[in-house]
Amino acid sequence: MVTIRILSINYDKCKPDLCGYACLKYCPLVIKGQKNVITIRKGTGKPIINNNTCLMAKKGTCGVCINKCFPRALSVTNLPSIETAGLLVHSYDENGFRFFGVPQLHSGKVIGLLGVNGIGKSTILDILAGMRPNGGDHQESEKGYEHFLSQLKISSFRQFLAEVDANALRVAHKPQIFTHLTEISDSVSDILSQSDNQGYYSLTEVIELMELTPILNRIPKELSGGELQRLAIGKVLLQNADVFLIDEPCTFLDFRQRIKMAKIFHQLASAGKTVFIAEHDIAILDFQSDLIYLFYGEPHKFGVISTLAYSTKKGINNFLLGRLKDENVRIRGKRIQFTRVIKERDWEGRSGVEFPAFQKQVGSFNLTVDKGINYFGEILCILGENGLGKTTFARHLTQSLKSVRVSFKPQFLHRKFTGTVREFLTRYTNSFIGSRAFSIYILKPFSISHLLDKPIRELSGGELQRCFLAGCLGKKADLYIIDEGSAFLDVEERLNATRVIRHIVSKNNAACIAIEHDIQIADALADRIMLFEGTPGSIGQTVGPLSKKAGLNRFLKEIDVTFRRDPETGRARLNKLGSRLDRDQRKNDAYYHDF
């Protein structure tokens, strides 16, 4: 079988103004006078290497440019063949990301999309939303689209594209990034009124389901992340569509709202709609999906969608175990295993960071906090609905605790810093980030070494989150406060972040408070639990700190769901309401799996 290669360019590392176009200067073919091997992109001044003529891409020989360029600026990627990955669907550039394979369409089903960041989930959703795939021909996209159609063997997908082109099939799309809403000066009420309003749900139902009544008279730029997310989903639900495409609906939503969204998507499927959901919270993805498609490959280089749609249990377990047995494909070198903490630690006699009881009034919202202690070496996980004062509590501790050093990772990440990641981390941590220790404990675990020279304003959501986490944990502190550290991260990145947090807290003998909405991550991260209860937007009250067992059990009982542990991977799984396990656990007042 012929190996297909492309020369990939990391444009974050490519700096022609410093290297003087070394790839062009030392290329043997260019030296011999051959044209169209390397061209310069207008506007950016960055090179484009023709994979049809490059010796490294064609034969795997040469490699002069790779050795002459900055480290990791150029790399050779071996692409999968059509026989192993399916049809080449779309490419973004001569040296850019390529995507292989298409999903089957399953009417009346909620179809989950699972994979790491940068692997093509948003690409396939964009194609389903109407973006024409170019079949790998980025220069003549229309010609590439016709070639793609001629090679496409899945008739249902060909028919789907034809119906979307002819406006015979209505598609509603909620993209991953919805910050464009903040540019609208109309009120939430006006935005919703201007929507289709002919969908499965009425305007009144959407306002109630999305809990938008308190914010109807506000404009989008005044809304929180969770409120913006609910507005974005609400706009989609108002559309009279046959297919619903929802990209990462759980970001900024609390656990109760995530359960509620899952039930709404099931209602749409029950009405005969086709629903595609891309999601990183695997407990919720498991609960809300009927079928799972898996994505694998090399992030930002190429992505492949699984040939088969798997049952939720089998699909998620295959992803975690790193192998698609039915397709004889290994998608990861090692399995992801959730650690099972059986015995809780004894904190008696230990010292820590004490916080006093206090009350805080913010507008019409009143927060009452009982006194407590966060022990050194402990991670205290905070759970509760949005609007109950968790972030208010975190900010109050950051500002009021004067006797200890506090490092704070905020909930909302911004790109206001005008410098590079290197400059951001240096200023944020007040440390020499070039040290071996900083590299070992911070840069490498968070995979941001290659981002150091990239401007903060150009980072993706996941990259920005990892940089803020690195800045928070790279700082010497007695107390680390991390507000929603898993947002924008994929499954692997979330679990990796928990390991880094645990290691830094233990290494520095520090205390840590982590506000979290992903119950899977809370389970892996927490030593003890503190709950926020009350009426969102009106009254907030703390409960605890409690043991992890008591805290998780009380929290899930309030949400009215039960969890069990999957024996194969150790992950937490939601029980279906009324199932035997659900009934047994409720009977024993054991809402969480290990009790």
47/173: higher pLDDT: 173
The residue-averaged pLDDT of 361-376 equals 91
> Given a cut of 50, is residue 487 above it in pLDDT?
yes
- Report d(CA 280, CA 205) in Å as an integer: 27
Nearest residue to 352 via CA among 511, 124, 177:
511
> Given a cut of 50, is residue 568 above it in pLDDT?
yes
pLDDT given at position 24 = 83
How many structural domains comprise the chain? 3
Do 398 and 275 fall into the same domain?
A: no
What is the residue whose two structure tokens read 């550039």? 93
Do 168 and 54 fall into the same domain?
A: no
Highest averaged pLDDT of the listed ranges 71-80, 100-109, 476-485: 476-485
The number of beta carbons lying within 10 Å of the beta carbon of residue 77 is 18
CATH number of the domain bearing residue 65: 3.30.70
What is the residue whose two structure tokens read 């506007």? 43
Highest averaged pLDDT of the listed ranges 341-345, 557-561, 573-577: 557-561
> Given a cut of 60, is residue 65 above it in pLDDT?
yes
Give residue 32's domain range: 4-79
Name the average pLDDT for the chain: 87
- Report d(CA 317, CA 92) in Å as an integer: 31
Read off the pLDDT band of 81 (50, 70, 90): low
Do 46 and 176 fall into the same domain?
A: no
pLDDT given at position 594 = 66
- Report d(CA 88, CA 86) in Å as an integer: 7
466/81: higher pLDDT: 466
Do 387 and 275 fall into the same domain?
A: no
Long-range Cβ contacts of 559-565 (<8 Å, 24+ apart): 559/255, 559/256, 559/259, 561/259, 561/591, 562/586, 562/590, 562/591, 562/592, 563/283, 563/519, 563/591, 563/592, 563/593, 564/593, 565/340, 565/593, 565/594
> Given a cut of 90, is residue 279 above it in pLDDT?
yes
Helix, strand or coil for residue 416? Answer: coil
Nearest residue to 482 via CA among 493, 495, 473:
473
The number of beta carbons lying within 10 Å of the beta carbon of residue 334 is 7
> Given a cut of 80, is residue 61 above it in pLDDT?
no
Residues above pLDDT 70, as percent of the chain: 96
Read off the pLDDT band of 1 (50, 70, 90): very low
261 located within any domain: yes
What is the residue whose two structure tokens read 């990301």? 97
Do 309 and 382 fall into the same domain?
A: no
> Given a cut of 90, is residue 85 above it in pLDDT?
no
181/554: higher pLDDT: 554
Do 124 and 239 fall into the same domain?
A: yes
CATH number of the domain bearing residue 398: 3.40.50.300
Do 169 and 67 fall into the same domain?
A: no
Do 21 and 98 fall into the same domain?
A: no
The residue-averaged pLDDT of 448-463 equals 86
The residue-averaged pLDDT of 243-260 equals 92
Helix residue ranges, H only, 430-516: 436-438, 461-473, 491-507
Q: Show which of 79, 102, 117 is a domain's final residue.
A: 79
* Distance between start and end Cα atoms, the chain: 53
Dump the DSSP string for 356-413: --EEEEETTEEEEE--EEEETT-EEEEEE-TTSSHHHHHHHHHHH--SS-EEEE-SS-
337 located within any domain: no
pLDDT given at position 513 = 97
The residue-averaged pLDDT of 265-279 equals 94
Q: How far is CA 21 from CA 38, 58, 73, 454, in A?
A: 10, 22, 12, 19
Do 375 and 248 fall into the same domain?
A: no
341 located within any domain: no
Do 179 and 201 fall into the same domain?
A: yes
- pLDDT tens for 394-414 read 999 999 998 999 999 998 787
